[in-house]
A and B are shown apart, each in its own frame.
Chain A
Amino acid sequence: MWVRLWRDPVWRAVFFQVLLILGVVAVVAWVINNTLTNLEHRGISTGFDFLSQSAGFGIIQTLVEYDESQSFGRTFLVGLLNTLLVSFLGVIFATILGFLIGVARLSSNWLLARLASTYIEIFRNIPLLLQIFFWYFAVLGVLPSPRQSINFFDAIFLNVRGISLPWPILDSGMEIVVWAGIASLVLAMGVAGLCRNYRRTKGRPLPHIKVIIASVIIGLPLLTAWLTNAHLQWEMPVLRGFNFSGGLVILPELAALWFALSIYTAAFIAEVVRSGIESVSKGQKEAAAALGLKPRRVLSLVVIPQAMRVIIPPLTNQYLNLIKNSSLATAIGYPDLVSVFAGTTLNQTGQAVEVIAMTMAVYLTISLTVSVLMNLYNRWVSLVER
C-alpha cells in the first residue's frame, strides 16, 4: 500500500510539498521561539508600541515637520521621504546623463564615442560606496569653511556645510502666478492636441502654431503677474556667524549621494540606451529613409518608438537599483530610511526584528509594485506588436 503510494507521482508530489511546508513551518517556529527567548533574556520588548514613543534625537534634513519630541513612527516617515527625495533627484539626473552618454556612445564622432565608453567602463566597474565616499570626503569634504565660501554671483555659495541657493518666496500673489503657469501648460497641451487633429484632417499644419503655443506658455503667467502686481522675491542665503542661513541649503550628504548615485546609474542606463537603439535593425532605418523621411523624422518616428520598447523594462530595473542603492546613505550619514530608521531608531529601541522588517517591507513594496506595472507594460507591448 505505502510502496504503491510512494511510486505514484501524484502522491509523491503531495508528499514532497507537505514535507516542504512542515519544514518551513518548523524552521520558522524554531526561529520565532529562539528570538522570543533571546529578546526576553536581553530585556527587549516586542511589538510595535515603540512607534508611538518619543524619539529624542534630531535629524539633519526633514521634509516634514519634525523635532526630537516626536515619535519613532515619525522618524520612519522622515526617513522614507528623504529616501524618496534622493531617489527622485537621482532618477532624473541619471536619466538625462545616461541618455546623453548612451547616444554619445553611438556617435559617428570617434572621440566622443570613445570618451562615452570610457565613462561607462570607469564608473560601472567601481563600487558605488567608494564613489559616494569620494564625493563626500575627497571633494565636498575639502571645500572651504562658510566664511571662505566659493561664491557665484553673490547668490550661490559652496562650502563644507553644503550648497546654499536662493529660493523663491511664495506669497499669495505669487501663488496665483504659479497656478496661471500650470493652467497655461494645460492650455498649451490642449492647443497642441487640436492642431495635431487639424493636421490629420486637413493634411497641413496650422500656421504659426509654434509661436502660438510658446506665447501661451510664457504670456499667460506674465500677464497674471502684471495684473495682480505680484513680483517674484528670492530669499537669499546670508552669512550669519559661522554659517549661512536663508535660501535653500543642499546638504553635502545629499549632494554626494545624489551625484554618486546619478553618475553610477547613468553608466548602466547608457548601456541600456545603447543596446536599445542598436536593437532597431538597420533595415528599419533604411526603409524609413527610402520612404523619403528626413533623418530627424526617421529618428523620432521609427527608431525611438521601437527602441523605447526595448529600453523601458531594463531602465525601470535601473531605477529600482538606484532606489535600493540609495540605502548606502547610511555610510555617510544622509538621513534616509535605512540610516534614520534601521540605524538610529533601531539602536535606540533595540527592536531589530520589527524595524528591519518594516524597512525591508518598504523596499519590497516598491519593487513588487514596479514589477507588476512592468508586467502590465510588457503585456501591453506584446499586444500592440501583434
Chain B
Amino acid sequence: MEQKMIPAREPPVNSRGILGWARENLFASPSQSLVTLALLYGLYLFIPPFWQWAVMDASWTGSSRSDCTTEGACWAFVTARLDQFIYGFYPDSEIWRVNLFFAQLAVVLGWLMIPRIPGKKMALVIGLLVLPVTSWLILTGSLLGLPPVETHQWGGLMVTLVLALYGMLASLPVGVLLALGRRSSMPVVRTFCTAYIELWRGVPLITVLFMASVMLPLFVPEEIVFDKLVRAMIGIVMFQSAYMAEVVRGGLQAIPRGQVEACQSLGMGYWQSMLLVVLPQAIRLVIPGIVNTFIALFKDTSLVLVIGLFDLLSIVQAGLNDPQWLGSAVEGYLFAGFVFWLFCFGMSQYSQRLEKH
C-alpha cells in the first residue's frame, strides 16, 4: 500500500489571528468571559472619565487655582512650581550648576547602562570616585570660587537624587566591609558585624532619621555642628549599609570556595584574593539586588520630610498648603507619584533585564 505524505495545513480558523487569540485568552470558558466583561466594564467606567479630567478638561497654565477650570485637572499647579519642585530654593542665577549635576549623572549612567559603549571600568571609576566629588563641589560652590549655596536652600528632585546617590555610594563600601566581616573567621569581628546589620535592619528608617537628627548632635562635642542634610545622609548610610551588606553577602556565598583556594595556591593574601577575585565576581552577581535596594532607598528618601528637609515629596506637600493653590492635592500627588514611579519603574526594568542575562 502506498503511504501518502500528509502536507502541513494551517490550524483551524478559530485558533488563529486576533479572534483566535481572544478566544483563548479572554473567552476560554463562560466564567472567563464573565470576568473579562466585568473587567472591561470597570475599565470603561474609570478610564474615559479620567482621561476627560486629566487631559481633555485640564488647565495647563495659570498663576493660581482660580485660573483653572473646575471640572478638569489643574496642572497649572505643577507647571507654575516646576522649578521649585526640581531645584528647591536654589538661587535662580545658579541653577545651571544643578543642571550640570544632572547632566554629569545622565552621561555616566548612560555610559554604564548602554551595553554597546566601551570603557565600563573607566565609567565605574568616574561614577564612584570622581562624580561625587565634582558634584559636591559644584552644588555647594566650595573651592571653585562659585557663590556658595548652603544646603538649606537645596530642595525638590535635586535633594531626592543627592540623598539617594550619596547614600548609595557611601553605603556600598561600608556594606562590602560588613559583609566580609560577617563571613570572617574571627568571632569578635563576625559578632560585631552581625549585630550591626541586624540592629539597623530591625528598626524603621524613620527612627534612624530621628536618631540622626536629634541624637547625633548630642553624640559629638558641641563645637562640631552637622548640617541637617549631612545628618540625614549619615542616618541613611548607617541604615542602607546594613541592607547592602546582606545583598553583598548573598553574592559572596555564591562564589565557590575553590576560587579562594586557587588564589591561596598562587600566593595571594586575603585582601588580594577578595579585591581581585572574589568581590568582582560577587558584586557582578548581585547587581540586580543592589539596584533593588537602590530603588527602595530612592523611595525611602521621601521620609526626610519628617526631619524637615525638602525632598520632592515634601516640597510638593509644602506647595499644597499655599493658599493660592488649595485643593490641588490630587494633581500634586499624581505628579510627584509619576516622577518617583518613572525612576523606580525604569530601574526595576533595568534590573530585571540584567537578571535575565
**Residues of the A chain whose Cβ atoms lie less than 8 Å from the Cβ of B186:** 13, 16-17
The verdict on A187 contacting chain B, using a C-beta distance below 8 Å, is: no
Contact pattern, B 80-94, Cβ under 8 Å of A = 1, otherwise 0: 000000000000000
Pick from B70-78, B218-226, B273-281 the stretch touching chain A: B218-226
The verdict on B336 contacting chain A, using a C-beta distance below 8 Å, is: yes
Cβ 8 A contact of A109, one of B32, B221, B295, B329: B32
The answer to whether B348 and A125 touch across the interface, beta carbons within 8 angstroms, is yes
**Residues of the A chain whose Cβ atoms lie less than 8 Å from the Cβ of B103:** none
The answer to whether A128 and B329 touch across the interface, beta carbons within 8 angstroms, is no
The verdict on A20 contacting chain B, using a C-beta distance below 8 Å, is: yes
- Rounded to whole angstroms, the CA-CA distance of A37 and B317 in the bound complex is 38
Main secondary structure of the interface of A (DSSP, over half): helix
**Separation in Å of the B139 CB from the closest CB of chain A?**
23
Pick from A156-164, A227-235, A325-333 the stretch touching chain B: A325-333
The verdict on A39 contacting chain B, using a C-beta distance below 8 Å, is: yes
The answer to whether A38 and B333 touch across the interface, beta carbons within 8 angstroms, is no
The answer to whether B25 and A109 touch across the interface, beta carbons within 8 angstroms, is yes
The answer to whether A368 and B320 touch across the interface, beta carbons within 8 angstroms, is no
Pick from A136-144, A147-155, A170-178, A274-282 the stretch touching chain B: A136-144
The answer to whether B201 and A367 touch across the interface, beta carbons within 8 angstroms, is yes
The verdict on A269 contacting chain B, using a C-beta distance below 8 Å, is: no
**Separation in Å of the A222 CB from the closest CB of chain B?**
34
- Rounded to whole angstroms, the CA-CA distance of A24 and B317 in the bound complex is 41
- Rounded to whole angstroms, the CA-CA distance of A34 and B218 in the bound complex is 7
The answer to whether A13 and B185 touch across the interface, beta carbons within 8 angstroms, is yes
The answer to whether B341 and A356 touch across the interface, beta carbons within 8 angstroms, is no
- Rounded to whole angstroms, the CA-CA distance of A34 and B341 in the bound complex is 43
Cβ 8 A contact of A356, one of B36, B210, B333: B210
The answer to whether A356 and B217 touch across the interface, beta carbons within 8 angstroms, is no
The verdict on B149 contacting chain A, using a C-beta distance below 8 Å, is: no
Cβ 8 A contact of A127, one of B40, B198, B300: B300
Pick from A51-59, A74-82, A110-118, A284-292 the stretch touching chain B: A110-118
The verdict on A270 contacting chain B, using a C-beta distance below 8 Å, is: no
- Rounded to whole angstroms, the CA-CA distance of A353 and B32 in the bound complex is 59
The answer to whether A127 and B219 touch across the interface, beta carbons within 8 angstroms, is no
The answer to whether B215 and A353 touch across the interface, beta carbons within 8 angstroms, is yes
**Separation in Å of the B36 CB from the closest CB of chain A?**
5
**Residues of the A chain whose Cβ atoms lie less than 8 Å from the Cβ of B205:** 324
The answer to whether B189 and A16 touch across the interface, beta carbons within 8 angstroms, is yes
Contact pattern, B 134-145, Cβ under 8 Å of A = 1, otherwise 0: 000000000000
Interface footprint category on A: 35 or more
Contact pattern, B 260-298, Cβ under 8 Å of A = 1, otherwise 0: 000000000000000000000000000000000001000
Cβ 8 A contact of A328, one of B203, B206, B218: B206
The answer to whether A17 and B299 touch across the interface, beta carbons within 8 angstroms, is no
Cβ 8 A contact of B202, one of A37, A331, A367: A367
**Separation in Å of the A20 CB from the closest CB of chain B?**
6
Pick from B124-132, B169-177, B249-257, B302-310 the stretch touching chain A: B302-310
**Residues of the A chain whose Cβ atoms lie less than 8 Å from the Cβ of B188:** 17, 20-21
Q: Smallest CB-CB separation from B187: which chain A residue?
A: A17
**Residues of the B chain whose Cβ atoms lie less than 8 Å from the Cβ of A364:** 199, 202-203
Please tell me the number of chain B residues within 8 Å of chain A, measured between CB atoms. 54
Contact pattern, A 118-133, Cβ under 8 Å of B = 1, otherwise 0: 0001101111111101
Main secondary structure of the interface of B (DSSP, over half): helix
The verdict on B214 contacting chain A, using a C-beta distance below 8 Å, is: yes
The verdict on B110 contacting chain A, using a C-beta distance below 8 Å, is: no
**Separation in Å of the B160 CB from the closest CB of chain A?**
10
- Rounded to whole angstroms, the CA-CA distance of A124 and B295 in the bound complex is 10
The answer to whether B32 and A138 touch across the interface, beta carbons within 8 angstroms, is no
**Residues of the B chain whose Cβ atoms lie less than 8 Å from the Cβ of A353:** 215, 218
Cβ 8 A contact of B313, one of A39, A110, A133, A352: A133
**Residues of the B chain whose Cβ atoms lie less than 8 Å from the Cβ of A363:** 202-204, 207
The answer to whether B329 and A142 touch across the interface, beta carbons within 8 angstroms, is yes
The verdict on A236 contacting chain B, using a C-beta distance below 8 Å, is: no
**Separation in Å of the A144 CB from the closest CB of chain B?**
14
The answer to whether B189 and A20 touch across the interface, beta carbons within 8 angstroms, is yes
Q: Smallest CB-CB separation from B33: which chain A residue?
A: A109
**Residues of the A chain whose Cβ atoms lie less than 8 Å from the Cβ of B102:** none
Contact pattern, B 328-343, Cβ under 8 Å of A = 1, otherwise 0: 0110010011001100
- Rounded to whole angstroms, the CA-CA distance of A331 and B302 in the bound complex is 11
**Residues of the A chain whose Cβ atoms lie less than 8 Å from the Cβ of B199:** 364
- Rounded to whole angstroms, the CA-CA distance of A109 and B211 in the bound complex is 49
**Separation in Å of the A131 CB from the closest CB of chain B?**
8
The answer to whether A38 and B217 touch across the interface, beta carbons within 8 angstroms, is yes
**Residue positions of A touching B, CB distance < 8 A:** 13, 16-17, 20-21, 24, 31, 34-35, 37-39, 41, 108-112, 115, 121-122, 124-131, 133-134, 137-138, 141-142, 324-325, 327-328, 330-331, 338, 342, 346, 352-353, 356, 359-360, 363-364, 366-368, 371
**Residue positions of B touching A, CB distance < 8 A:** 25-26, 28, 32, 35-36, 39-40, 185-189, 192, 198-199, 201-207, 210-211, 214-215, 217-222, 295, 299-300, 302-303, 305-306, 313, 317, 320, 327, 329-330, 333, 336-337, 340-341, 344-345, 348
Q: List 16 A-B contacts (CB under 8 A).
A: A17-B186, A20-B189, A37-B221, A38-B218, A109-B26, A121-B348, A126-B337, A130-B337, A324-B205, A325-B204, A331-B306, A338-B206, A352-B218, A360-B211, A363-B203, A367-B203
The 5 tightest CB contacts between A and B, nearest first, are: A367-B202, A17-B188, A110-B25, A125-B344, A138-B329
